[in-house]
């Protein structure tokens, strides 16, 4: 079976003084279509660096990333940029919305960049924003939106091109509890229904219940993978959880 994503022995090293820091230190995993995975771990464990590599924004020092059967490391920069726009949707902690475009226009912009802004695309942009609870804010500029609303616009923008791979770094950081559940559930459902692959970095224990798997990073490596048969719901309620020593997950920060 073809995987949506294959990461093999990925390393990202930064020179520091006379030595180096390995932000990512030999990470390998696969993601199938329809799979939604949570990436967790303490601050500094390499989550954002890994996401940036998967988003083709950062080249690894070594190792390979294959998305939809295509090896990123073999692509020239221009092709990588086109591939990124078409196949990868991402939201990073800074939302980077275009300040003079409305919420709807920010989402439509991604279609425009691919020369794919037609009536169907416009309808999809509107539907995504409605699904994310922004039906009243379609024509608002970013500065007229709360942090959480901006974050949801960024999530809609990451999904509009119907990418193979959807990446989100702390998508619930500025959302209240109710909204956080709604947004992550929507994200998880869209990944399932539309048969995409999704990775969400999160510090929020309550959000891992929507994931099919939890990948736990520590010091640039995968410390462990928590599978669906391990009761994920117990992560949200550590007191009742005997099986997984939650203290070691570095999630309580
Ligand atoms: P996380 O997202 O899990 O908090 P990061 O991926 O941001 O972790 O960082 C992992 C490690 O790599 C940290 O020790 C960080 O200081 C280091 N690091 C990240 N980016 C750089 C960089 N551009 N130069 C040097 N070190 C970096
Ligand atoms: Mg980070």
SS (H, E, C) the chain: CCCCEEEEEEEEEEEECCEEEEEEEEEEEEECCCCEEEEECCCCCCHHHHHHHHCCCCCCCEEEEEECCEEHHHCCHHHHHHHHHHHEEEECCCCCCCCCCCHHHHHHHHHHHCCCCCHHHHHHHHHHHHHCCCCCCCCCCHHHCCHHHHHHHHHHHHHCCCCCEEEEECCCCCCCHHHHHHHHHHHHHHHHHCCCEEEEECCCHHHHHHCCEEEEEECCEEEEEECCCCCCHHHHCHHHCCCCCHHHHCCCC
The verdict on residue 216 lying in a domain is: yes
Q: Say how many Å lie between the CA of residue 47 and the centre of ligand 2.
A: 6
Report yes or no on 56 lying in a domain. no
Q: What pLDDT, on the 0 to 100 scale, is given for residue 252?
A: 42
Residue 58 has pLDDT above 50, yes or no: yes
In a domain, 62, yes or no: no
Query: Does ligand 1 come within 6 angstroms of the Cβ of 48?
Result: yes
Query: Is position 15 within any domain?
Result: no
pLDDT digit string (tens) for 101-128? Answer: 999 999 999 999 988 899 999 999 999 9
Pocket test for ligand 1, best of 10, 11, 13, 14 (most atoms within 8 A of CB): 14
86 part of a folded domain: yes
| Residue 205 near ligand 1, beta carbon < 6 Å | no
Residues 9-13, mean pLDDT to the nearest whole number: 97
229-246 average pLDDT score: 52
Lowest mean pLDDT among 53-62, 86-95, 109-118, 217-226: 86-95
How far is the centre of ligand 1, averaged over its atoms, from the C-alpha of 78 (Å)? 26
Closest ligand to the CA of 53: 1
In-domain check, residue 4: no
From ligand 2's centre to the CA of 135, what distance in Å? Answer: 30
Identify which ligand lies nearest to the alpha carbon of 173: 2
Q: The domain spanning residue 236 has which CATH number?
A: 3.40.50.300
In a domain, 7, yes or no: no
Taking only the tens place, the pLDDT of each residue in 35-52 is 999 999 999 999 999 999
Instruction: Report in angstroms the alpha-carbon separations of 30 from 36, 68, 151, 253.
Output: 11, 11, 27, 28
Q: What is the chain's mean pLDDT, rounded?
A: 88
pLDDT at residue 94, as a whole number: 73
The pTM of the full predicted model, rounded to 2 decimals, is 0.87
**Residue 44 in domain:** yes
Q: Is the pLDDT of residue 156 over 60?
A: yes
Domains of the chain: total: 1
Query: Higher pLDDT residue, 219 or 204?
Result: 219
| Ligand approaching nearest to the C-alpha of 94 | 2
Question: Domain containing 203: what range?
Answer: 28-50+78-249
């Amino acid at each position: 079976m073809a995987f949506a994503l294959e990461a093999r022995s990925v390393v990202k090293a930064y020179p520091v003084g006379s030595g180096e820091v390995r932000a990512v230190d030999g990470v390998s995993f696969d993601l199938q279509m329809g799979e939604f995975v949570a990436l967790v771990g303490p601050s500094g464990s390499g989550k954002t660096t890994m996401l940036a590599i998967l988003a083709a924004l950062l080249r690894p020092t070594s190792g390979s990333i294959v998305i939809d059967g295509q090896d990123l490391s073999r692509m020239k920069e221009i092709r990588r940029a086109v591939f990124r726009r078409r196949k990868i949707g991402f939201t990073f902690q800074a939302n980077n919305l275009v300040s003079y475009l409305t919420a709807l226009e920010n989402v439509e912009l991604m279609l425009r960049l691919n020369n794919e802004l037609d009536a169907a695309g416009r309808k999809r942009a509107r539907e995504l924003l409605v699904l994310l609870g922004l039906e009243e804010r379609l024509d608002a500029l970013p500065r007229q939106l709360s942090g959480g609303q901006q974050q949801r616009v960024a999530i809609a923008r990451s999904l509009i091109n119907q990418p193979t791979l959807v990446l989100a770094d702390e998508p619930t950081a500025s959302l209240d509890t109710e909204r956080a559940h709604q947004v992550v559930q929507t994200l998880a459902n869209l990944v399932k229904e539309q048969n995409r692959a999704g990775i969400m970095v999160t510090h929020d224990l309550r959000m891992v219940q929507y994931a099919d798997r939890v990948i736990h990073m520590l010091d640039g490596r995968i410390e462990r993978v928590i599978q669906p048969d391990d009761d994920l719901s117990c992560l949200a309620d550590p007191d009742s959880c005997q099986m997984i020593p939650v203290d070691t997950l570095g999630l309580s920060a």
